[in-house]
Amino acid sequence: MSSTPDEMALLARARHVLVGGVNSPVRAMGAIGRDPLFIDRATGPHLWDTEGRQYIDYLGTWGPAILGHAPPQVISAVELALPRGTSFGAPTAREVIFAELVCELVPSIEQLRMTSSGSEAVMGAMRLARAATGREVIVKTTGGYHGALDGLLAEAGSGATTLGVPTSPGVPAGATAATRLVPYNDVAAAAEALDGAAAMIVEPVAGNMGVVPPADGYLAGLRAACDAAGALLIFDEVMTGFRVALGGAQGRWGVRPDLTCLGKVIGGGLPVGAFGGRREIMAELAPVGPAYQAGTLSGNPLATAAGLVTLRSLMADGVYEKLEENGASLEDAIVASGAPVRINRVGSMLTAFFTDAPVTDYASATRADTEAFGRWARALLDAGIYPPPSQFEAWFVSLAHGRREIEQTAEALARAA
């Protein structure tokens, strides 16, 4: 699919005033060797670009669109909230109701602090973990992404334990000096690295090296290793929260972290994040405790309106069974297309890796053939399917993807294979 003159003109304007024409790097679609598409609107399982082309969407705005796009109940909730004011910078009753619901549904959360993004939630959780333990080192997994914050932009390294080296210029070495890297799915490496550490932060299902499920016993092993080291366990459930189960990955695997970071789904498509955990740890946070964290738009009334109705929708009977079924149908369709991929799937999130070996960590994920993925993704776009524009991202299926969309996807996959 080649760009139309109008698309080329818009891209030129975008590149003049926005870096790379985008506001977040992967959107530029460089990883699949094409220019970005500008989106005009979205409803249910569909996206339309500015040229009126329709796509079945599996990006799901990188996770939040679990009900599909513009679900009527979310639109109504935001429409009701809108005329009452878009931001107060003061407490509201709705954020209390929202927090009560999150505390009820997420097993380990007794108290919450809301933010405006997942990155801010992680930043707050890290500061809190350091304040609560009086220690500095944070252990993270290679290939684990926790937002664009300095201290965790350290991914490079080999061997079981590597001292963090910044991945991005502009991150001072000092910012990652207290970050230790270990491979995902390796409890022994984590146990060793946790010596003297404040916390381990982990995506309980890795989603940012492509989807990589936790091996049997991995999450429970991390819990035990953190306990043995006197360190806190932080689950970054920005992606998995309310996605892989109503109680997130911790509900699905029955492992309770000390702190949990949330984002994406809990905002119903509006900008939101949150972190929470045990009451005595949260009590370290200002204004009760000394650890400072704040945000002008935190607990924003539109975001809590969208988030609240989204969470309530997810509490209906059969929702997670339906998401599982939709995820399985997409997986079956990809397998049936004959694409030479290995699929990792947890419920409604999956990645099709262009490799013939199992993908269990960052090293095995990065052996995938990114050129082949790029060709496939471009062909899928041509066929009206919108995949995540990188080999190392998750596909998200929503409740709005019905049998019809999956059948159309299967036909398009067959054409793209």
Ligand X SMILES: Cc1ncc(COP(=O)(O)O)c(C=O)c1O
The contact set with ligand X (CB under 6 A) reads 62, 117-119, 122, 145-147, 203, 207-208, 236, 238-239, 263, 273
User: Residue 111 in 3-state DSSP?
Assistant: strand
Q: Which of 338, 144, 319, 140 is nearest to 244 (CA)?
A: 319
Half-sphere exposure of 13 (CA within 13 A, CB side): 6
In whole angstroms, the minimum distance from the beta carbon of 25 to ligand X comes to: 12
Task: Output the six-digit token pair for 22.
Answer: 């985008």
Helix, strand and coil in the chain, % to nearest 5: 40, 15, 40
Q: Which residue is nearest to ligand X (CB)?
A: 118
Q: Which of 47, 373, 24 is nearest to 38 (CA)?
A: 47
Q: Where are the alpha helices (DSSP H) in 230-349?
A: 248-253, 279-282, 301-314, 319-337
Of 185 and 208, CB closest to ligand X:
208
Q: Which of 180, 179, 250 is nearest to 220 (CA)?
A: 250
**Is-catalytic flag, 236?**
yes
Task: Output the six-digit token pair for 212.
Answer: 């990589």
Amino acid at 103: C
In whole angstroms, the minimum distance from the beta carbon of 7 to ligand X comes to: 26
Q: Which of 127, 144, 114 is nearest to 275 (CA)?
A: 114
**Is-catalytic flag, 320?**
no
Task: Output the six-digit token pair for 410.
Answer: 């299967």
Identify the active-site residue in 186, 218, 258, 264: 264
Q: Which residues contact 321 (CB under 8 A, 6 or more apart)?
A: none
Identify the active-site residue in 55, 58, 145, 320: 145
Residue 395 CA: distances (Å) to CA of 90, 139, 308, 353, 368: 37, 27, 24, 11, 16
Identify the active-site residue in 49, 57, 236, 258: 236
In whole angstroms, the minimum distance from the beta carbon of 183 to ligand X comes to: 17
In whole angstroms, the minimum distance from the beta carbon of 119 to ligand X comes to: 3
Name the pairing type of β-strands 46-49 and 162-163. Answer: unpaired
Rounded distance, CA 29 to CA 22, Å?
10
Of 59 and 122, CB closest to ligand X:
122
**Is-catalytic flag, 361?**
no
In whole angstroms, the minimum distance from the beta carbon of 124 to ligand X comes to: 12
Neighbours of 410 (CB within 10 A): 17
In whole angstroms, the minimum distance from the beta carbon of 211 to ligand X comes to: 11
Dihedral of CA 75/78/82/86: which sign? negative
Task: Output the six-digit token pair for 191.
Answer: 């146990």
In whole angstroms, the minimum distance from the beta carbon of 181 to ligand X comes to: 16
Which are the catalytic amino acids? 145, 236, 264
